[in-house]
Amino acid sequence: MATTPLVIAVDGPAASGKGTVARGLARHYGLPHLDTGKLYRAVALSLLRWGGDPDSEFAALRAVHEVAGLMDDPELTSEMVGGIASRVSAYPAVRAALLERQREFAGSPDGAVLDGRDIGTVIAPHAPAKLFVTASIDERARRRHAELTAAGLPVHLEEILIDLRARDERDSGRSAAPLVMADDALLLDTSAMGPDEALAEAIRLVETRLAT
Ligand SMILES: Nc1ncnc2c1ncn2[C@@H]1O[C@H](COP(=O)(O)OP(=O)(O)O)[C@@H](O)[C@H]1O
Ligand SMILES: Nc1ccn([C@@H]2O[C@H](COP(=O)(O)OP(=O)(O)O)[C@@H](O)[C@H]2O)c(=O)n1
């Protein structure tokens, strides 16, 4: 008898630790993982490289065609690219152009883990397990600061805090697929947890959901 593939949707705000949790879950369950934020970051990076205007939905849509070649670019992780990603991701045409490849990944017969903002609500609304990963804004800023500093980028905590606030507001306030917790998602607040503890709790939550 065929079993239903295990699809795990992981959503949450910037630097909450959702990528770390999603990668850990993928390792634990032996599933392929897609960081969907990279798609929007690649659109932003493509725009930046050819000087396209982030205020133009048409220009952003053109940039979608370059995404495949940029998915492993080291510049994807910069806060500047993250900020532009959150602007271009508000365009319905950009979201529509990126929808199919995410749905296809989520529809794999082998199962999948995806992380982003709208996985549980739009990309994989039927996923049997959904987590909404969060942490306090101060903790998220500290984590992003440590991450970028370790990568040798000159960043200030205060500026990161301002960037994250602006991104939270844009991601939650937009009309196209805003960042909201799905009704059937389980909340994982990692503010006071290290990465290992957060993963252990994520596995526990997934197991709880699969058992019901
Ligand atoms: N629970 C945690 N405790 C401390 N640091 C964490 C934790 N989870 C993730 N990190 C670190 O915080 C940064 C952002 O985590 P990441 O998983 O990339 O977040 P997101 O995918 O939500 O943007 C990374 O440097 C990561 O190693
Ligand atoms: N499924 C997704 C994933 C990301 N995004 C957008 O892309 C931006 C960058 O996403 P990300 O997940 O790489 O950002 P971080 O959480 O790693 O900072 C976000 O601020 C969102 O605006 C989205 O709209 N939908």
d(CA 81, CA 44): 6
Segment 143-160 mean pLDDT: 92
Interatomic CA distance for residues 193 and 206, integer angstroms: 17
3 labeled part of a ligand binding site: no
| Distance from C-alpha of 173 to C-alpha of 53, rounded to nearest angstrom | 21
Residue at 123 is within a domain: yes
Q: Is residue 120 one of the residues assigned to a domain?
A: yes
pLDDT score for 1: 53
Looking at ligand 2, which atom is closest to the CA of residue 13?
16
Mean pLDDT across the stretch 17-46? 98
Range of the domain at 75: 7-211
> Percent of the chain, pLDDT > 90?
90
15 is in an annotated binding site: yes
Could you tell me the pLDDT band of residue 154, with boundaries at 50, 70 and 90? confident
Residue 112: beta bridge partners?
Answer: 7
Rounded distance between C-alpha atoms, residue 102 and residue 99, angstroms: 5
Query: pLDDT over 70 for what percent of the chain?
Result: 99
145 C-beta closer than 6 A to ligand 1: no
CA distance 24 to 194: 13
Residues ≥6 apart with Cβ < 8 Å to 55: 87
Cα-to-centroid distance, 146 and ligand 1 (Å): 10
Backbone angles phi, psi at 60, to 5 degrees: -65, -40
Q: Which residues contact 53 (CB under 8 A, 6 or more apart)?
A: 47, 59
Given its phi and psi angles, is residue 177 left (phi above 0), alpha (psi -120 to 50 degrees) or beta? left
Whether residue 2 lies inside any domain: the answer is no
Q: What distance in Å separates the CA atoms of residue 54 and residue 30, rounded to the nearest whole number? A: 38
Q: Is the pLDDT of residue 2 over 70?
A: no
Ligand nearest to the CA of 198: 1
Q: Is 73 within the bounds of a domain?
A: yes
Rounded CA separation 51/179 (Å)? 28
The pLDDT tens digits for 93-130 are: 999 999 999 999 999 999 999 999 999 999 999 999 99
| Structural domains in the chain (count) | 1
ipTM field: 0.98
Beta carbon of 194 within 6 Å of any ligand 1 atom = yes
In angstroms, the CA 95 to CA 198 distance is 29
Is there a binding annotation on residue 13?
yes
CA gap 198, 201 in Å, rounded: 5
Q: Quick check: CB of 114 below 6 Å from ligand 1?
A: no
Q: Give the mean model confidence (pLDDT) for residues 19-24.
A: 98
Residues 83, 156: Cα–Cα separation, whole Å? 15
Please give the structure tokens belonging to residue 38.
């990279």
Q: What is the model's pLDDT at position 79?
A: 85
CA of 199, nearest ligand number: 1
> Is 1 domain-assigned?
no
Which atom number of ligand 2 is nearest to the Cα of residue 87? 22
Q: What angle do CA 115, 121, 127 make, to 5 degrees?
A: 70
CATH number at 88 reads 3.40.50.300
